[in-house]
Structure 1
């Protein structure tokens, strides 16, 4: 058993009046070999003092502050020749704590076993550890450290299995391109409240490149669904004919990137073509460099490029839609012919070659080559049989 040294006497007086409207108060604390601030005649409930000890004496290991409570000053201020009170294990317990009560006050070098609650760990992460009384108080100062678990992160293939860390440890987190930790930090730390910042790789967008425009706010990282306002340069406007607009940070980067154009170089609606149309909803105005796509009606064949572009107020040459050929039953009966092989349609697209044969009991009147008929610009020369 450690040497027992006399603890300086502390005299505490608590005034409690249960009369209606009366407050609970504390008398000034009385203890030897030290002083305190502030110095008052009476202290109100929850009021706090800070105390100090003379050279050679030690304050409570629970701190140098005491609060006026309905039970008196907590923790009781004291100045002792011994440096340590019985340890309090935050988030843990002493081994056989009740049996240690006889050790108070604790002598220098005395140590006790302890363990930590679930979710907390000793500095060695072993189930049991020991806490030692030193001239500076109890060591380790933080007996039980918060445990933080890290498992698979989305948008980052690390770690492959759950890993455990304790309070004070930090790790680097390298997110996939286009993703980052909160505020684009590169590391997370295990704290008493868990990971700081949370180990999540979130989508972010950097500052986009602008053409004929400028950002109204610059410099900050943008998270998913954040918006960024922009202003077109003088004399320019966007696709909506307005001098300003907004873009949105999405999963694939910025949506609605600014496209500011000189309105003098805009185009009107794209030209109409026979038996065809553009595949997008037509607009009243198209900025320079805009492109639209055409398609033809069924059985009509598109000739030329299907895209046209607006350049300096003019559209490039649109495509055309060539007519199909109609093969009627009446025409085939008149020429004593029928479709051959797998052909089972009476329509042929421009450029298609359709093979015919004579009906039973009839012989060819035209050359053998004429029975392979080409559809060209809606016309097809049919073979004939007698």
Structure 2
């Protein structure tokens, strides 16, 4: 109860004090005002009119009684302008001029603008002039916006400049678009209305044996698109749906939906060789794998095999090399010309030049000392 009484008393005191605050009639030279009273309560307003040749405050010709007096302070002067407040620039020398009384005094200031802002004529110095309607130009310093480092843009050209309030249409190269759906950007006091940057987008792809779950265009960089395989089809991992990602070069991981009956198992094995990739349990149709042979073995046949209609194409085979060991050459008292290898490997079709060891003479024909490797076998000459 005591707290309630305290609150009521506080509110009453505040109201009483507000009732005590009044404003005396204003003293405005070269004018008359209405309504005229001996005093004015808070919130009451007057309207004043200046005599010919004089001008009211640039904030208007009305004033309101406040706890700090009349606001804005009413006045009638020969100059219709108050000291200008220059945004994004600096005032310099002030000049005034009056041709004859009671014409108002002509007043202007020279000024310059901050970095990234320019005067309306785009000169370093300009002047702001007082008129009956206020200061002109109304916006002394205009923001300057410049296109820099524009990538993937057809028009406008680089280094093109716009001033505050101007707009321009941006035309991106095919496959690119602005960050927002609009194609026009505007130079504002704080810079571009939106970032004038063309980024990669992906159009709705053409599906084969699949359909999009959610449609829409264009898709931005890193946007995803879910798809679902048609009935009776599945993708590489055996599921019936998947997700695509819009990348720098277009869609990544395009759908590979295929009939389950057309898939292949692991590629066929070959002697002395294997595929170059990690084998999978299931391969979709038209998958292709590469084979390679062990060292010194020669690949004979197709390097790649393809899955088609649940079958792999014919794999290659690896041809055995000819192995010429030191033991064999010692037994026949021969050696390879220009070679000191204890063991020498030759591929099928290679010609090997032999010679007798020092102090030995040929026991076979001269032609036998040029032998050919044929799938792992070679006829050796003999020396005694």
Structure 2 residue aligned with 1:91: 88
Structure 2 residue aligned with 1:347: 345
**How many Å apart are 1:319 and its aligned residue?**
0.7
Q: Which moved more, 1:155-164 or 1:187-196?
A: 155-164
Is the 2:47–2:63 Cα contact (8 Å) retained in structure 1? no
Structure 2 residue aligned with 1:229: 226
Aligned mate of 1:249, from 246, 256, 266: 246
Larger Rg computed on CA atoms: 2
Q: Please, what TM-score do these two structures have when normalized by structure 1? A: 0.72
Note the residue ranges of structure 2 that are not aligned, 5 or more in a row.
Answer: 1-28, 36-40
Aligned mate of 2:46, from 15, 25, 31: 31
Structure 1 residue aligned with 2:24: none
1:211 matched to 2:226? The reply is: no
**How many Å apart are 1:358 and its aligned residue?**
1.8
Q: What is the RMSD of the two structures over their aligned residues, measured on CA atoms?
A: 4.2
SS in 2 for 1:231: strand
SS in 2 for 1:264: helix
Is the 1:228–1:246 Cα contact (8 Å) retained in structure 2? yes
1:278 matched to 2:275? The reply is: yes
**How many Å apart are 1:359 and its aligned residue?**
1.5
Aligned mate of 2:374, from 359, 364, 376: 376
Q: Which moved more, 1:328-337 or 1:63-72?
A: 63-72
Structure 1 residue aligned with 2:383: 385
User: Structure 1 residues 6, 317: closer, same or farther in 2, change over 3 A?
Assistant: farther
Structure 2 residue aligned with 1:262: 259
How far apart, in 2, do the equivalents of 1:374 and 1:60 lie?
A: 113
User: Structure 1 residues 366, 65: closer, same or farther in 2, change over 3 A?
Assistant: farther
1:146 matched to 2:143? The reply is: yes
Q: Which moved more, 1:186-195 or 1:328-337?
A: 186-195
Deviations 1:268-296 (A, max 9, x none): 11111111111111111111111111111
Structure 1 residue aligned with 2:356: 358
SS in 2 for 1:259: coil
Is the 2:34–2:48 Cα contact (8 Å) retained in structure 1? no
**How many Å apart are 1:185 and its aligned residue?**
5.8
How far apart, in 2, do the equivalents of 1:208 and 1:176 lie?
A: 19
**How many Å apart are 1:360 and its aligned residue?**
1.9
Is the 2:224–2:246 Cα contact (8 Å) retained in structure 1? yes
How far apart, in 1, do the equivalents of 2:110 and 2:368 lie?
A: 106
**How many Å apart are 1:141 and its aligned residue?**
2.6
**How many Å apart are 1:160 and its aligned residue?**
10
How far apart, in 2, do the equivalents of 1:296 and 1:10 lie?
A: 107
How does 1:249-328 map onto structure 2 within 5 Å?
A: 249-328=246-325
User: Structure 1 residues 68, 265: closer, same or farther in 2, change over 3 A?
Assistant: farther
Note the residue ranges of structure 1 that are not aligned, 5 or more in a row.
Answer: 12-25, 35-56
User: Structure 1 residues 153, 10: closer, same or farther in 2, change over 3 A?
Assistant: farther
Is the 1:278–1:294 Cα contact (8 Å) retained in structure 2? yes
SS in 1 for 2:258: coil
Structure 1 residue aligned with 2:20: none
SS in 2 for 1:333: helix
How many matched pairs? 341
User: Structure 1 residues 335, 151: closer, same or farther in 2, change over 3 A?
Assistant: same
Deviations 1:44-95 (A, max 9, x none): xxxxxxxxxxxxx999766999999996897679999997555432222333
Q: Which moved more, 1:278-287 or 1:172-181?
A: 172-181
How far apart, in 1, do the equivalents of 2:294 and 2:70 lie?
A: 92
**How many Å apart are 1:179 and its aligned residue?**
4.5
How far apart, in 1, do the equivalents of 2:222 and 2:61 lie?
A: 49
SS in 2 for 1:225: coil
Q: Which moved more, 1:83-92 or 1:113-122?
A: 83-92
Q: Please, what TM-score do these two structures have when normalized by structure 2? A: 0.73
How far apart, in 2, do the equivalents of 1:310 and 1:383 lie?
A: 47
Is the 2:226–2:243 Cα contact (8 Å) retained in structure 1? yes
**How many Å apart are 1:31 and its aligned residue?**
3.0
